[in-house]
């Protein structure tokens, strides 16, 4: 790396994609996150597992500031998240998010869903936005649905559109908040396949999921959260075969045996 | 016959209800038709035609005073200006209401920017070739439409802003919106109009005068904005939280999120409520009567005091006529809103 390149962008390659340091968060009197530390490197795939109410979703929602953390530091691509709206917008442009409930915009076609943000946030010309949208819709294998409305699609198709919509913004990091939890079992695979493809292309991903097969297959690291705290963090091999913490063991015993 | 047997006389109770309903229709419709058509007077040029014990509606009263009902005391030589304003309004509105006509954006710009300016220039005048016509000469349908249309056009955007303000995270904006809405909603429109016409001039600096009609327009517009704000807020509350989150996560700003994602859906949910407010507002315009402005109803009342038309059925005829005109406008709005609901629901159900 030359000196000239090093001051070009704050996102220079040496720095971790996401740094979370000593983060606390309360909902009223209830503490959801307790002194959470997590560093995600570039191109790293992290799966966050844990019982419901453990703060997994809240943690990733803090990364793009859908939730505000109360204490500690969160840096995304070197940009620290504070009250500064400009920085929040900057982070949101770089971070895509896929929700459990898809959250497609029902009054727009699939194509319009995908083109909206590139046009208005990235100021992309309409023609380019259309091409980008179509190329990502092809990538999630539903280009033929482009002119339909979300309500006309199955859950699996909607979730794939939601992934394409996020990718159209060309994010550096993708957050997945239980992307398959609202799907009928027969549709889970089509969504996971798209996510595996994304992982193979080297996208930095944080995935909150109960799909342990997916974790085994693509995760570089599995993080186990309980009661707002990261209890254990290890590569999938160690995590599944040799968990250290009792709570992890109990959790794995529960979900792997039913 | 088959249909009647199935739907009207399918059972004992059903047959009885049908007969009672038919009887009720009979005792209401027949006398009304008799009054409005069979015994009505259609020709004549003074009260003499309508005098008599068995005479029904006195329709000549309506044609003889038609111009007053439409223009009020607007000078006869200048009424072409009002006609142009009516015509341009219709020409701008009708294509806008038809979904298949293209160029909606230009249409809206014409109707919301160019048209109001043109209408004010034409109606008020005070320019070479266009003598000034003081608003105290305006009346009839002209005033009804001016008040109603201004109220409708101002109250929707202002109501949206107030509704958003009420949900804002900024305490100052939220407080302001809540106070504004609750104050205007808590006061009867008559009080607002009295205040606008009597008290407002006391607060204005020396030498500044505001036209009486303009003051009423402002009063009506602010009053209906408060109602509109609550209707819109209902729509905003019906939106799932995920919609806003998804938009913000994509990097859309707050205004973009509202304009592209939240408002189109929220407003669609509350079309019946919005139109309901519009209809209420349209009918409430008659209240400007009490501050000395003669809307359609006021103008009808004024003409009733004309001794040349003093006959037993004149007053009823005048009121029925006014009611019918109001009904046409309100029913039109109601039908249009139903049409739009069906149209918007057809595309994409969720």
Per-residue model confidence as pLDDT tens digits over A166-176: 999 999 999 99
How far is C-alpha B65 from the chain's CA centre? 23
Torsion sign across C-alpha atoms A44, A50, A54, A56: positive
The confidence score (pLDDT) of residue A12 equals 46
State the average pLDDT over residues B90-117.
Answer: 88
Residue B54 located in a structural domain? no
> What would the mean pLDDT of A2-16 be, rounded to a whole number?
50
Inter-chain CB proximity A117 and B243 less than 8 Å? no
Torsions phi, psi for A59 (to 5 deg): -60, -45
pLDDT at A258: 54
Interface of A with B (CB under 8 A): 64, 66, 89, 92-93, 95-97, 99, 101, 103-107, 116-117, 120-121, 149-152, 162, 165-166, 169
- ipTM for the predicted complex: 0.89
What is the count of structural domains for chain B? 2
Is residue B184 classed as helix, strand or coil in its secondary structure? helix
Burial of B147 (0-12, 13-18, 19+ CB in 10 A): buried
Cβ neighbours of residue B56 closer than 8 Å, sequence gap 6 or more: B34, B35, B36, B37, B38, B39, B40, B41, B313
Q: Are B164 and B258 in contact (CB under 8 A)?
A: yes
Residue A1 has pLDDT above 50, yes or no: no
Coil vs helix vs strand at B283: helix
Q: How far is A23 from chain B (nearest CA, A)?
A: 21
Judge whether B218 lies within some domain: no
CA distance B346 to chain A (A): 11
Q: Flag if B248 and A66 touch (Cβ within 8 Å).
A: yes
Nearest chain B CA: its distance from A258 CA (Å): 31
Structural domain span for residue B10: 1-38
Which positions in chain B touch A106 (Cβ < 8 Å)?
Answer: 265, 348, 350
CB contact under 8 A, B245 and A152: no
Main-chain dihedrals φ then ψ at residue A37, nearest 5 degrees: -120, 130
Same domain, B32 and B80: no
Section B59-79 average pLDDT: 90
In a domain, B14, yes or no: yes
Residue at a domain's end among B88, B115, B132: B132
Rounded CA separation B340/A223 (Å) = 51
pLDDT, residue A11, reads 45
- Do B33 and B81 fall into the same domain? no
Q: Is the pLDDT reported for residue A6 higher than 60?
A: no
CB contact under 8 A, B243 and A120: no
What is the structure's pLDDT at B201? 78
Residue B15 domain flag: yes
Higher pLDDT, A58 or B129: A58
Question: Considering chain B, what percentage of its residues have pLDDT values greater than 70?
Answer: 99
Residue A221 bridge partners (DSSP)? A46
For A90-130, what is each residue's pLDDT tens digit?
999 999 999 999 999 999 999 999 999 999 999 999 999 99
Tell if the CB–CB gap between A121 and B348 is shorter than 8 Å.
no
Q: Tell me the shortest Cα–Cα distance from A159 to chain B, in angstroms.
A: 13
Residue position matching structure tokens 């209707």: B231
* Burial category of B267 from C-beta neighbours within 10 Å (exposed 0-12, middle 13-18, buried 19 and up): middle
Domain-embedded: residue B201 = no
| Beta strands in A147-215, from DSSP E residues, in sequence order | 173-177, 204-208
Mean pLDDT across B76-96: 91
Looking at residue B346, its pLDDT comes to 64
Residues of B in contact with A93 (CB under 8 A): 251
**pLDDT of the residue at B6:** 79
Yes or no: say if B264 and B243 are a contact pair by the CB < 8 Å rule: no
B314 found inside a domain = no
SS3 (DSSP) at B94: helix
pLDDT at residue B253 above 50?
Answer: yes
Residue B34, domain member (yes or no): yes
pLDDT at B28: 92
Q: Look over chain A and give the mean of its residue pLDDT values, rounded to a whole number.
A: 91
pTM, full prediction: 0.85
Q: Is the residue at B11 inside a domain?
A: yes
Top pLDDT among A48 and B312 is at A48
Round to whole Å and give the CA distance between A24 and A35.
5
The alpha carbon of B133 is separated from its chain's Cα centroid by a whole number of angstroms, namely: 24
What does the pLDDT look like over B18-32, one tens digit per residue?
A: 899 999 999 999 999
Shortest distance between the Cα of B149 and any Cα of chain A, in A, equals 29
Question: Both tokens of residue B129?
Answer: 């070739």
Interface test with B, best of A105, A110, A178 (most B CBs within 10 A): A105
B208 pLDDT above the threshold of 80: no
Query: Is the model more confident about B9 or about A67?
Result: A67
């Amino acid at each position: 790396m030359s000196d000239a390149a090093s001051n070009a962008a704050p996102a220079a390659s040496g720095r971790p994609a996401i740094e979370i340091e000593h983060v606390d968060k309360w909902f009223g009197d209830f503490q959801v996150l307790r002194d959470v530390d997590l560093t995600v490197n570039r191109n790293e795939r992290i799966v966050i597992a844990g019982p419901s109410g453990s703060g997994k979703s809240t943690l990733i929602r803090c990364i793009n500031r859908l939730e505000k953390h109360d204490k500690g530091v969160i840096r995304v691509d070197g940009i620290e998240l504070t009250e500064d709206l400009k920085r929040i917008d900057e982070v949101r442009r770089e971070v895509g998010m896929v929700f459990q409930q898809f959250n497609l915009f029902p009054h727009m076609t699939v194509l319009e869903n995908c083109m909206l943000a590139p046009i208005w946030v990235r100021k992309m010309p309409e023609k380019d936005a259309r091409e980008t949208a179509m190329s990502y819709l092809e990538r999630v294998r539903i280009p033929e649905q482009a002119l339909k409305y979300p309500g006309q699609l199955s859950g699996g198709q909607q979730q794939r559109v939601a992934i394409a919509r996020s990718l159209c913004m060309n994010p550096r990091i993708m957050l997945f908040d239980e992307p398959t939890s609202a799907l009928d079992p027969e549709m889970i695979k089509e969504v996971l396949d798209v996510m595996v493809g994304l992982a193979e292309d080297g996208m930095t991903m944080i995935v909150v999921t109960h799909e342990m097969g997916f974790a085994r297959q693509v995760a570089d690291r599995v993080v186990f959260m309980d009661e707002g705290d990261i209890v254990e963090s290890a590569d999938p091999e160690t995590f599944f075969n040799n968990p250290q913490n009792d709570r992890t063991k109990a959790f794995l015993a529960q979900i792997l045996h039913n | 016959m088959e249909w009647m047997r199935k739907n009207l006389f399918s059972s004992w109770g059903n047959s009885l209800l049908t007969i009672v309903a038919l009887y009720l229709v009979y005792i209401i419709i027949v006398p009304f038709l008799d009054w409005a058509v069979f015994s009505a007077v259609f020709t004549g040029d003074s009260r003499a035609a309508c005098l008599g014990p068995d005479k029904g509606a006195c329709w000549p009263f309506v044609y003889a005073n038609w111009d007053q009902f439409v223009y009020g005391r607007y000078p006869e030589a200048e009424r072409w200006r009002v006609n142009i304003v009516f015509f341009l309004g219709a020409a701008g509105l009708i294509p806008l209401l038809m979904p298949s006509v293209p160029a909606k954006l230009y249409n809206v710009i014409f109707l919301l920017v160019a048209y109001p300016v043109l209408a004010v220039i034409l109606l008020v005048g005070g320019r070479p070739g266009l003598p000034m016509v003081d608003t105290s000469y305006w009346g009839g349908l002209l005033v009804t439409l001016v008040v109603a249309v201004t109220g409708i056009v101002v109250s929707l955007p202002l109501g949206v802003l107030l509704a958003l303000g009420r949900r804002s995270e900024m305490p100052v904006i939220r407080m302001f919106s809540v106070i504004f809405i609750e104050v205007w909603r808590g006061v009867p429109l008559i009080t607002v109009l009295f205040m606008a016409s009597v008290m407002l001039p006391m607060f204005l600096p020396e030498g500044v005068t505001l036209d009486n009609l303009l003051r009423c327009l402002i009063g009506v517009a602010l009053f209906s904005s408060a109602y509109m704000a609550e209707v819109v807020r209902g729509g905003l509350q019906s939106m799932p939280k995920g919609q806003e989150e998804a938009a913000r996560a994509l990097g859309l700003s707050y205004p973009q999120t509202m304009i592209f994602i939240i408002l189109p859906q929220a407003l669609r949910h509350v079309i019946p409520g919005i139109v309901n407010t519009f209809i209420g507002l349209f009918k409430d315009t008659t209240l400007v009567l009490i501050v000395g402005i003669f809307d359609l109803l006021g103008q009808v009342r004024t003409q009733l005091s004309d001794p040349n038309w003093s006959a037993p059925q004149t007053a009823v005829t005048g009121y029925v006529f006014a009611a019918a005109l109001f009904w046409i406008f309100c029913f039109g709005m109601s039908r249009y809103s139903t049409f739009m609901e069906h149209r918007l629901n057809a595309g994409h159900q969720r």
